[in-house]
Amino acid sequence: MSNNKIFILLPDGVGLRNFAFTDFYKTGMAKGMDLVFWNTTLFDLEKIGFEEIKLKQNRSSLLLEVLKNARKEIELNCNIRKSRDYVYDSYRFPFSYATFKSSTKSYIIRSIIQLFDSEKGLKIVRDLIKKTEQRSNFYSESYELLKVQKPALVFCTNQRISLVIAPLLAAQDLKIPTATFIFSWDNLPKGTMVVETDYYFVWSSHMKKELLYYYPYIKENQIVVTGTPQFENHFQIDNIIAKEIFFKQNGLDIGKKYICYSGDDVTTSPYDPNYLLDLIKAVRILNERGNQLGIIFRRCPVDFSARFNTILEENKDIVIAIIPKWDKVGEGWNTILPTKEDSILQLNIVAHTELVVNLGSSMVFDYVSHKKPCAFMNYNPEKQNGNWSVEKIYNYVHFRCMPNNAVVWLNSPDEISDKIEMMLSDEAQKVVANAQKWFEKINQYPAEDASKRIWEAIDQICKKGIC
């Protein structure tokens, strides 16, 4: 193709992880592409040798945020009416009335929902979002930049960040093809789509069906099944450190086998410390039976709470915390950014542990990439508030595509020790085989070729122009 300049629109840390710290960049360069990261994060990509243009805008307007939130609520209402399934209510966040400003914002959002709560009304809100952004200074700045740069395609790495609506609209108005990547396996049922592009890149045929179901205005020929680069690091075996070196670096006992407990954020799993403590107690029981086991605790990278401190301090003989290598470069949650070093660290934690335990995390797929099993915590702690339950977590739509026995279900604290013992035996390979089927359903196989498939699709789009 005559124009091989591709703008990678990078609005957050997830995009860094998937598209800057994987084989994506190297694969694109090998195809002769001219890559420019259109970067709104605080991470300096030039220091790792990537060409970038910094986006000056770092915050959406209040009107856009109001319309975006109203759009999500209307989408969830439409999904309930279409499916007659009230699971979509669980994806809502409560309206805030803590201050005059938040109360006013909530009142306006609810008024918009009441006025436009239908498929036809949803279309009006979508159009209002576009018109609002096309009148913004950010749109004008993006338009002028694109007119000078003339990329062959603008590829957005995340479909849920409202900040990127204006640059994508500017590209479309200049007849530059646009695409977005649906970045997570659980996103589509949640009503998180805020951008509208010419093409949509998805993990799997399963996700393609979801996209067509939830967004009927999208045509089948706009959807490209590629897989996600998220798991590519697990196939880069040259980055695996020798066991003796890794154990010494992290204060691990070479005579022990380790289990990984992978933490969730405080909203998803407010009782994570309870679950970690139950796992510690189970490991003590197993060690009394003659095993030599320990636990590596990898907290959620955006969880900086002190909620695990006491448990970790009191159980140093069993559990070692290995801190994720993410950088906190600002005060907001969206300024906590991943690093290339953390991808390598995560790879080595998986490579040097026997199995993983967590609450419903996609770490099941990281471990099955190494043919290792995962256990899901599946009980409510004794003391819990009424707004959260494990049943609510596993009723989410994305868990409905699970094959039977793709994970080991830990249904009470009393059975953890016996089930962990089973997972350390050959019997666990039955679970691994089912998890592999699940992985291949939600992410295009083979997983290590995702970047290659994305670039092949980008090449084809650039050759034919807008669909």
Contact indicator for 369, 231 with CB cutoff of 8 Å: yes
CATH number of 238-442: 3.40.50.2000
Q: Please state the domain extents for the chain.
A: 5-60+136-228+447-464, 62-131, 238-442
pLDDT at 86 over 70: yes
Number of helices and strands (H, E) in the chain? 17, 15
- The Cα–Cα gap between 98 and 170 comes to 36
Contact indicator for 279, 295 with CB cutoff of 8 Å: yes
Percent of the chain with pLDDT strictly greater than 70: 97
Contact indicator for 279, 259 with CB cutoff of 8 Å: yes
Q: Which single residue is written with the structure tokens 């092949």?
A: 456
**Burial (Cβ within 10 Å: 0-12, 13-18, ≥19) of residue 404:** exposed
- Average pLDDT on 317-339 reads 82
pLDDT at 467 over 50: no
Residue 202 neighbours by CB under 8 Å, 6+ apart = 182, 208, 211, 223, 224, 225, 226
Closest CA to 126 of 170, 74, 189: 74
CA 448 to chain centre: 17
242-272 per-position pLDDT tens digit: 999 999 999 999 999 999 999 999 989 999 9
- Average pLDDT on 46-59 reads 87
Mean pLDDT, the chain, whole residue set: 94
- Average pLDDT on 377-398 reads 90
Equal CATH topology for 5-60+136-228+447-464 and 238-442: yes
Percent of the chain with pLDDT strictly greater than 90: 88
pLDDT at 57 over 80: no
- The Cα–Cα gap between 318 and 295 comes to 6
Q: Sorting pLDDT into bands at 50, 70 and 90, what band is 444?
A: very high
Rg (CA), the chain: 23
CATH T-level assignment (fold) for domain 5-60+136-228+447-464? Rossmann fold (3.40.50)
Structure tokens, 287: 């060690």
pLDDT at 47 over 80: yes
Q: Sorting pLDDT into bands at 50, 70 and 90, what band is 332?
A: low
More confident residue, 236 or 385: 236
Contact indicator for 45, 52 with CB cutoff of 8 Å: yes
More confident residue, 334 or 138: 138
- The Cα–Cα gap between 139 and 439 comes to 39
- Average pLDDT on 322-345 reads 82
- Average pLDDT on 439-453 reads 97
| Residue 21 DSSP symbol | S
Closest CA to 202 of 214, 216, 190, 185: 185
Q: Which single residue is written with the structure tokens 């998805």?
A: 202
Q: What is the pLDDT of residue 1?
A: 42
What are the CA-CA distances from residue 422 to residues 412, 430, 434 (Å)?
A: 16, 11, 16
More confident residue, 447 or 404: 447
- The Cα–Cα gap between 208 and 224 comes to 8
pLDDT at 163 over 70: yes
Task: Supply the DSSP string of 414-430, one letter for each residue.
Answer: GGHHHHHHHHTSTTHHH
Q: What is the pLDDT of residue 65?
A: 95
| Residue 152 DSSP symbol | S
Q: What is the pLDDT of residue 331?
A: 60
pLDDT at 45 over 60: yes
Q: Where are the alpha helices (DSSP H) in 306-415?
A: 309-314, 340-351, 363-368, 390-394
- The Cα–Cα gap between 182 and 176 comes to 20
Q: What is the pLDDT of residue 466?
A: 47
Mutual orientation of helices 119-134 and 137-149 as an angle, nearest 10°? 70
Beta strand pairing call for 327-328 and 336-337: antiparallel
Q: Sorting pLDDT into bands at 50, 70 and 90, what band is 328?
A: confident
Query: Of 70-74, 253-257, 332-336, which range is least confident?
Result: 332-336
Q: Where are the alpha helices (DSSP H) in 302-389?
A: 309-314, 340-351, 363-368
Structure tokens, 81: 């009416």
Q: Sorting pLDDT into bands at 50, 70 and 90, what band is 43?
A: confident
Q: What is the dihedral of CA 226, 227, 230, 236, to 10 degrees?
A: -90
- Average pLDDT on 308-326 reads 96
